Amino acid sequence: MTQPDTTASPTDPPSADSLAQNSARPGAPAADTRASETSAIDSTRPHPARRYNYWLGGKDNFAADRDSGDEVTKVFPHVAVAARENRAFLQRVVTHLVRDLGITQFLDIGTGLPTADNTHEIAQRIHPAARIVYVDNDPLVLVHARALLTGHPDGQTVYVDADLRNAAALLQDSQLRATVRWDEPVGLLLIAVLHFLTDADEPRRQIRALIEAMPAGSYVALSHATSDFFDPDTTAMLAAMAASGAHGPYRARTREEVEALVAGLELVEPGIVPVSQWRPDGPDDQVIPPEQTGCYGLLARIR
């Protein structure tokens, strides 16, 4: 997968560090929309979207995100490979949904910071009138999404500031309801986000609320971190990092637990497999091994 271009241009949004400095600037005008949006950013604690951006080689992250990312890399040296494989899975599954299954509208939850080949770019390249709703709860993502996530004029691309941990409230958002046509199938994307929901967040209940809102013939694509492919020492160290709370919430799940999240849905071939093995583009001998991805991927149909 091509790495995102991290070189700033005159039209790029400012970097994460400069946004944080500006939002804290004494005497900043109250009418400054960007300052008001970034005032909620906590640059002292790592955030999954910004840490993921760091692993992908991006510039939209803070020192806390980079420090956390480096700590995780010490335990799981292939984490940057895993991040790239997740992006590649997103690209393949969206392409399959649009080109082969006729899905033309998407709800992408936990979208993260914009990078190369975002959902709307993939979908609208095939079907220019595709409609995409992005959902995230990081204020920095909001700033960049509004600046960069502009799609084909025949389609629609909107951003919703909401939290997967309250799916019922998310579904009531006015922008979402105005964009999604509920009498047509929807592609629900939950890419590398569910492992940030602990058991107390009731991920199965949140997914069920989303699924029940979707018409028959819709699809759910998800990827989820797992320790199934790791040795006991790596598994124990990652669990200890999660328990410390210093790196934010994290809950790896087994294959059986991932399957339970989509219970009742019809799995699309090849089923639940490591993300690198889900309909790979290249030859089998070039597929990244599962111990380097640490992540399952799947596509399931809502009946």
- Residue 20 confidence class, pLDDT cut points 50, 70, 90: very low
For the ranges 109-123, 235-249, 256-270, which has the lowest average pLDDT? 109-123
| pLDDT at residue number 25 | 31
65-72, long-range: CB within 8 Å, 24+ apart, which pairs? Answer: 65/16, 68/246, 68/247, 68/248, 71/241, 71/247, 72/238, 72/241, 72/247
For the ranges 8-17, 173-182, 222-231, 289-298, which has the lowest average pLDDT? 8-17
| pLDDT at residue number 16 | 52
Is the pLDDT reported for residue 170 higher than 90? Answer: yes
C-alpha triplet 164, 299, 107: angle, nearest 5°? 40
* CATH tag for 79-301 (out of 3.90.78.10, 3.40.50.720, 3.30.70.330, 3.40.50.150): 3.40.50.150
| pLDDT at residue number 140 | 80
How confident is the model over 102-124, as pLDDT tens digits?
A: 999 999 999 888 777 899 999 99
SS (H, E, C) the chain: CCCCCCCCCCCCCCCHHHHHHHHCCCCCCCCCHHHHHHCCCCCCCCCHHHHHHHHCCCCCCCHHHHHHHHHHHHHCCCHHHHHHHHHHHHHHHHHHHHHCCCCCEEEEECCCCCCCCCHHHHHHHHCCCCEEEEEECCHHHHHHHHHHCCCCCCCEEEEEECCHHHHHHHCCCHHHHHHCCCCCCCEEEEECCHHHCCHHHCHHHHHHHHHHHCCCCCEEEEEEECCCCCCHHHHHHHHHHHHHCCCCCCCCCCHHHHHHHCCCCEECCCCCEEHHHCCCCCCHHHCCCHHHHCEEEEEEECC
- Residue 149 confidence class, pLDDT cut points 50, 70, 90: low
- Residue 18 confidence class, pLDDT cut points 50, 70, 90: very low
Q: Region 145-170: what's the mean pLDDT? A: 86
| pLDDT at residue number 283 | 79
Query: In Å, what is the CA distance from 271 to each residue of 58, 109, 121?
Result: 31, 21, 26
Burial of 146 from C-beta contacts in 10 A (0-12 / 13-18 / 19+)? middle
For the ranges 147-156, 173-182, 262-271, which has the lowest average pLDDT? 147-156
Query: What pairs with residue 188 in β-bridges?
Result: 107, 220
| pLDDT at residue number 4 | 37
Q: Region 209-234: what's the mean pLDDT? A: 97
How confident is the model over 34-54, as pLDDT tens digits?
A: 444 555 688 899 988 899 889
Token pair belonging to 197: 């929901």
For the entire predicted model, the pTM comes to 0.85
Tell me if 300 sits within 8 A of 218, measured CB to CB. Answer: no
Domain boundaries, the chain: 14-43, 79-301
Is the pLDDT reported for residue 260 higher than 50? Answer: yes
| pLDDT at residue number 60 | 86
CA distance 28 to 36: 9
- Residue 276 confidence class, pLDDT cut points 50, 70, 90: very high
Q: Region 236-264: what's the mean pLDDT? A: 95
Is the pLDDT reported for residue 29 higher than 70? Answer: no
CA distance 231 to 105: 40
| pLDDT at residue number 36 | 46
Tell me if 184 sits within 8 A of 218, measured CB to CB. Answer: no
